[in-house]
Copies of this chain bind each other. A is one copy, B any other.
Amino acid sequence: MPSPRKTTKTTAIPRISSTTEFARYVGLARTTVSRVLNGQPGLKQKTIDRVQRAMAETGFTPNAYALHLKGKRTALVGLCVENLLTPPAVSKLAELQSQLRQHGYSSLIEVLDRDSGQKVIRHFLSMRVEAIGFIGHFDEAELTRWSADLSRQDLPHVIIDQAGIPGAPTVTLDRAKAMTEVINHLVGLGHRNFGLLGVSGTQRGTQDRIRGVDAALAAHGLQIAACTRSLDHLHPRRTDFEYGRLLAQSFAQLADRPTAYLALNDEIAIGAMHGFQHRGFSVPGDLSITGFNNQDICEMTTPGLTSVDQQIGQTIRAATELLLAQIRSATGRKPLLRMIAPDLVVRGSTGAKPVG
């Protein structure tokens, strides 16, 4: 015999799904119930209590779809993230969601991959979100098109991280400046020969970084072509620890090995550090390594990892402001592009160039 349906579950509480039924249950007029639900004045305390008790008893919740049809704002914001595996992206998402919530907004969160993009945005639009945020890096052409579409519809939006979308409200780290600071730091330590770990490719963010490297080297009278080396073509591209380890392995075999390494992110840097150390190299005795993102883990490696802090707090505060400003007034008189200055955090993984 099948086990009987739990009886405690169905304590004869009617399942109520409309104000009509609910009003009948409470024994009041639909209009009155509606007024209580919306906290309108001029009601007897007794009536209010009665309705509230019934709410608790039945678990009745007014249908949001009817509310919004009647014109109530949705107080919804759509957030697109490139993925939920990149810690800085998740941090930004968490912070943005939290700040928006403080302003009364709920978030619809979606991971936007290659082919789901258009669908996700349509879903956001059909849900009548009041704004959309993009966090991370997306296909440039697609993002440009989406942003243009949203602008045409006067739908507030903000792009966080990805620079270069024309006309789009954007908050982005000054990646060129970040790399300039890293190079200045390393050149100051005597380094003249740099390995780039994962910093190659056509992505806008990467190009910005390379531009920063170039400018900084030029300012020191050095040529980027002569001073930097990348072995990214030797391994299938990834962005994790293992990729750094593979690159270290390849660089270790070079006779004219660079003395300083600039990694795309902390994971690659730590993987490389690990790889070099296991091959007998001392960090920073034999070579220096820098990461990017300044995650907590940078404190936990031996030595600690010198890294660039993205200033996520500042970034998200700027993004929230941009979004709220757009929501409040359709007039776009404020600057649309906000550049966030990075902060280089120096730790033990960078040191003087070895003599000889």
**Is A20 at the interface (CB under 8 A from chain B)?**
no
Which residues of A line the B interface, CB within 8 A?
Answer: 2-3, 5-6, 8-11, 13, 15, 59, 61-69, 83-85, 87, 90-91, 93-94, 97-98, 101, 106-111, 116, 122-123, 125-128, 149, 151-154, 167, 240-242, 267, 270-271, 274, 277, 296-297, 299-302, 331-333
Taking the nearest CB of chain B, how far is it from the CB of A208, in angstroms?
25
Task: Kindly list 8 other residue pairs between chains A and B, CB separation below 8 angstroms, not including A15-B153, A64-B126.
Answer: A9-B167, A63-B69, A66-B69, A107-B109, A241-B297, A242-B299, A267-B296, A274-B300
B65–A69 CB distance below 8 A: yes
Report the Cα distance A300→B152, complex, angstroms.
Answer: 48
Give how many copies assemble into the complex.
Answer: 2
Min CB–CB distance A165 → chain B (angstroms): 14
- With a cutoff of 8 Å between Cβ atoms, the chain B residues found around residue A333 in the complex are 2-3
User: If A94-B111, A241-B296 touch, does A106 touch B123 (CB 8 Å cutoff)?
Assistant: yes
Which 4 pairs, one residue from A and one from B, show the smallest C-beta to C-beta distance?
Answer: A84-B94, A61-B125, A64-B126, A65-B65
Instruction: Determine the chain B residues whose CB is within 8 A of the CB of A87 once the complex forms.
Output: 87
Given the known inter-chain contacts A94-B83, A128-B63, please indicate yes or no for A299 contacting B241, CB distance below 8 A.
yes
Whether the pair A153, B59 counts as a contact (CB closer than 8 A) is yes
Cβ of B106 and Cβ of A13 under 8 Å apart? Answer: no
A121 to chain B, nearest CB (A): 9
- Residue A68 contacts which of B61, B65, B97 (CB distance < 8 angstroms)? B65
A9 touches B107 (CB 8 A): no
Do B84 and A241 touch (CB < 8 A)? no
Known: A64-B65, A64-B128, A109-B109. A59 touches B152 (CB 8 A): yes
Nearest neighbor of A304 in chain B, beta-carbon distance: B274
A22 to chain B, nearest CB (A): 13
**For residue A101, which residues in chain B have a CB less than 8 angstroms away from its CB?**
116
**A93 and B84 contact, Cβ closer than 8 Å, known pairs A106-B123, A108-B106:** yes
